[in-house]
A and B are shown apart, each in its own frame.
Chain A
């Protein structure tokens, strides 16, 4: 691998010369024992986090639906599916969504549920069918209150396509999944040597609906990803 070694050798040689800018790099502050979090969050009680998450997501034109128990959440999702006139939905495996009996609710409405698998010979058919879905339904790994962010990793049963392909994304969140900040989620993973990241091919932080400002900086939602992000939160 000639280029690899040439590049690495050149970088190492440069560092040994200790020119002015190398001294600048050497003088950089050492890695802090604790990084300063970017955002402030005053109330980290469960209800405080719920309130902050809701405020942040609404500010980004996302939608939040608070439910007091599982049945209320299933009813809420059924109402949303009806509102969207859904006949076909993309979804994570229901076992990966922390709301029991959701599969029965959705299928009971006569909705065709697809869990897109793109690694088999039916890939093309799967994708062209998936494209016609009006909504998608997923859980989350965590939600960060200070920025209104949904955090999703991939795993068996948890694909990327349901989080991005359909025009509406319905995400189901249990209140205990809400952490104060992205930094706090990283901190939780650190305690386990980042195992959750290492076990997964992809992690995505989703903050509000898809948006663009490319045409004269006018805000338009839903350019390629979902234009509506509807988060159903089950209080605990």
Chain B
């Protein structure tokens, strides 16, 4: 999809004024965050489990090249094919080559952020291959010709009425306001797609090296139908998703839904270790795994390796006060929210997503919510440091002056007096319009930007230092 991360500020302002979106965001993020807290609180050793999950991910990243080789060897031994893709173009080409080799014309797909990242569907469409998204949310996004706004709740930005109108317009759904009826209609609508598809596609939430198993998690069952019914299965998975053993998996696969949707387990946790074995009655006869780099090895080699530990649960999105207000589309690419504000600049170039690391109050809610304790705030801060040169000259000069003033006590004290005098002058000049008379609602240029959306508290007439000098002898 097109990268518009540099328009974050403009997009965010539009999002903030979209009342429908604000309602949808408030409902979705607060519900998901509340459920996450509830199902984590019921565990006896939440903190220890989180560290156990984190250590699993960090060890896996440390051994990444060896685990990828082990995974490849096991899948190949099981009769599957493993292809490597340095970038999006190579991954897309692999899929197209497979389609041509087996004469595949129509596919069904379960939800995958990796295929969204490489722009697979528009690419296949251009080459005459039809691909249907089968996750309800992703299907809505597909017929709406838009993009998901959340990693695990793709249409959390839409209301039921918007979805109803879309189904009625694009699919001739009979009128109904009932979400159950709408869902039933889509079940019937997509049924034949599964049965007639030439191939199925998926991403992968985990890849277990020791047995060569790719795992996807879905609640709807579309993943099991998409990968189990058609004769060919192609999975596109980022190289960072590999873990060594089933014990690591058992921890992570339960931390994922508890953090993401507040479920104890996802309904269908589906593991594929190659094509159907001899004598098995169904399942794909051809199995392909495309291992996607597309910038991940650059992250591995950077100072931000920890970002690759992410298991894409979406908890940091729901917990983030910025995401809660601006929604996923403002971030301008596939991965929104706090983790997106790290991953997008690293995968697409820092200068192409410069506002994102600044779209955070560094409050730390993201790290607190992260099931594998990724230090998101520190990475955002480090990215800001890397992006210093992207900032306006005025801002840079201001920050330098600030640092100078605060490291020279005399200058600091004089500055405080000057500020107090200046704010008094503004009060005398334009007055205060608040009942308590204590807040300035309008500052003169060039400071007027600050008061456009908020008040400014005037400096106290007397500084604490002066007060201390006067009063320190008194009882």
Using a CB–CB cutoff of 8 Å, the interface residues on chain A facing chain B are 1, 3-4, 6-8, 10-15, 17, 19-22, 24-26, 28-32, 35-40, 56, 115-119, 123-124, 127-128, 131, 147-149, 154-161, 163-165, 182-183, 186, 189-190, 194, 197-218, 220, 222-226
**13 CB < 8 A contacts A-B:** A3-B84, A11-B301, A15-B64, A25-B58, A31-B59, A164-B228, A165-B225, A197-B246, A199-B277, A202-B270, A206-B268, A214-B137, A223-B220
Residues 278-296 of chain B, each 1 if its beta carbon lies under 8 Å from chain A, else 0: 1111110101000101000
CB of B187 to closest CB in A, whole Å:
6
Provide the residues of chain A in CB contact with B354, threshold 8 Å: none
The reply to whether B229 and A161 contact each other, CB–CB distance below 8 Å, is: yes
Partner of A183, one of B51, B134, B247, B287: B247
| Chain A residues whose C-beta falls within 8 Å of the C-beta of B246 in the assembled complex | 186, 189-190, 194, 197
Q: Is A223 touching B231 in the complex (CB atoms < 8 A)?
A: no
Instruction: Verify A226–B221 contact, CB threshold 8 A.
Output: yes
Q: Does B224 contact A (CB under 8 A)?
A: yes
Instruction: Scan residues 237-252 of chain B and give those whose CB is less than 8 A from a CB of chain A.
Output: 239, 244, 246-251
* Pairwise interchain contact A202-B293, C-beta atoms closer than 8 A: no
Q: B140 contacts A214, CB within 8 Å?
A: yes
Q: Are B219 and A211 in contact (CB under 8 A)?
A: yes
Indicate if the CB atoms of A210 and B228 lie closer than 8 Å: no
A201 touches B277 (CB 8 A): yes
Q: Which residue of A lies closest to B110 (CB)?
A: A224
Contact of B293 among A7, A186, A222 (CB under 8 A): A7
> Are A215 and B58 in contact, CB atoms less than 8 angstroms apart?
no
User: A201 contacts B283, CB within 8 Å?
Assistant: yes
Contact check: which of A4, A11, A35, A204 meets B250 at CB < 8 Å?
A: A35
Q: What is the bound-complex CA distance between A148 and B84, given in angstroms?
A: 38
Alpha-carbon distance A164/B305, docked complex (angstroms): 39
- A3: which of B254, B255, B273, B293 is its contact (CB, 8 Å)? B293
Q: How far apart sit A89 and B113, CA to CA, in the bound complex (Å)?
A: 36
A197–B43 CA distance with the chains assembled, in angstroms: 28
Chain B residues 187 to 211 lying within 8 A of chain A, measured CB to CB, are 187, 190-191, 195-196, 210-211
Does B17 lie at the interface of the complex (its beta carbon under 8 Å from any beta carbon of A)? Answer: no
Q: Are A214 and B136 closer than 8 Å at their CB atoms?
A: yes
Smallest beta-carbon distance B205→chain A, Å: 12
Q: Is the CB of A25 within 8 A of B43?
A: no
Other than the given A29-B52, A203-B213, A217-B27, 20 more pairs (CB < 8 A) read A1-B84, A15-B62, A25-B58, A25-B305, A28-B54, A35-B247, A39-B43, A39-B254, A159-B280, A186-B246, A186-B249, A197-B213, A202-B283, A203-B273, A205-B265, A206-B267, A213-B153, A214-B154, A215-B163, A222-B187
Across the interface, do A204 and B270 meet the contact criterion of CB distance under 8 Å? yes
A159 near B277 with CB under 8 A, answer no
Whether the pair A119, B62 counts as a contact (CB closer than 8 A) is no
Alpha-carbon distance A213/B27, docked complex (angstroms): 12
With A3-B86, A118-B282, A190-B246 already in contact, the answer to whether A38 and B65 are too (CB < 8 A) is: no
Shortest CB-to-CB span from B279 to chain A, Å, is: 4
- Cα distance A213–B303 in the bound complex, in angstroms: 37
Q: Is B221's CB under 8 angstroms from A224's CB?
A: yes
**B124-132, B175-183, B326-334, B449-457 - interface stretch:** B175-183
Chain B interface size band reads: 35 or more
- Contact bitstring B136-156, A, C-beta under 8 A = 1, else 0: 110010000000000001111
Tell me if B68 is interfacial: C-beta within 8 Å of chain A: yes
List A contacts of B58 (CB < 8 A): 24-25, 28
Establish whether residues B224 and A225, one from each chain, have CB atoms under 8 Å apart when the complex forms. yes
| CB pair B85 A40 closer than 8 Å | no
B219: A residues at CB distance < 8 A? 210-213
- Is the C-beta of B266 less than 8 angstroms from some C-beta in chain A? yes
A-chain residues with CB within 8 Å of residue B187 when the two chains form the complex: 222-224
Given contacts A19-B303, A165-B225, contact A212 B220 (CB under 8 A): yes
A154 in complex: contacting residue of B24, B248, B276, CB < 8 Å: B276
B116 beta carbon closer than 8 Å to chain A: no
B302 on interface, CB distance cutoff 8 Å: yes
Assess the A225–B282 pair: CB atoms within 8 A. Answer: no
Assembled-state Cα–Cα distance A208/B283 (Å): 22
> In the complex, what residues of B have CB within 8 A of residue A165's CB?
225, 229
Q: Residue-by-residue, is B42-77 near A (CB-CB < 8 Å gives 1, otherwise 0)?
A: 011100110110110011011011001100000000
**Are B44 and A201 neighbours in the complex by a CB distance under 8 Å?**
no
| Complex Cα–Cα for A205 and B271 (A) | 9
Task: Give the docked Cα–Cα distance between A198 and B191 (Å).
Answer: 31
Contact B273 A197 (CB under 8 A): yes
Chain A positions within 8 Å of B31 at CB level: 217
Residues of chain A within 8 A (CB-CB) of B360 are none
**Minimum Cβ distance to chain B for residue A188 (Å):** 11
Contacts of A157 in B (CB 8 A): 281
Partner of A7, one of B45, B86, B303: B86
Q: Does B261 count as interface, using CB distance less than 8 angstroms?
A: yes
Measured between alpha carbons, how far is A206 from B224 in the docked complex, in Å? 10
Q: When the two chains form their complex, are residues B280 and A201 in contact, meaning their CB atoms are under 8 A apart?
A: yes
Residues of B contacting A158 in the complex (Cβ-Cβ under 8 angstroms):
280-281
Of the candidates B59, B239, B265, the one whose C-beta lies within 8 Å of that of A149 is B265
* Residues of chain A lying within 8 A (CB to CB) of residue B210: 194
- Residues of chain B within 8 A (CB-CB) of A127 are 195, 229
- Cross-chain contact B283 with A159 (CB below 8 angstroms): yes
Question: What residues of chain A lie closer than 8 Å to B24, measured between beta carbons?
Answer: 216
B325 contacts across to A, CB distance below 8 A: none
Contacts of A40 in B (CB 8 A): 43-44
> Contact partner of A119 among B220, B267, B282, CB < 8 A?
B282
B154 adjacent to A14 (CB under 8 Å)? no
What CA separation (Å) do A74 and B261 show in the bound complex? 37
Chain A residues with CB below 8 A from B247, complex form:
35, 183, 186, 190
The chain A residue sitting closest to B304, CB to CB, is A21
Nearest residue in A to B55 (C-beta to C-beta)?
Answer: A29
How long is the Cα–Cα vector from A165 to B283 in the complex, in angstroms? 13
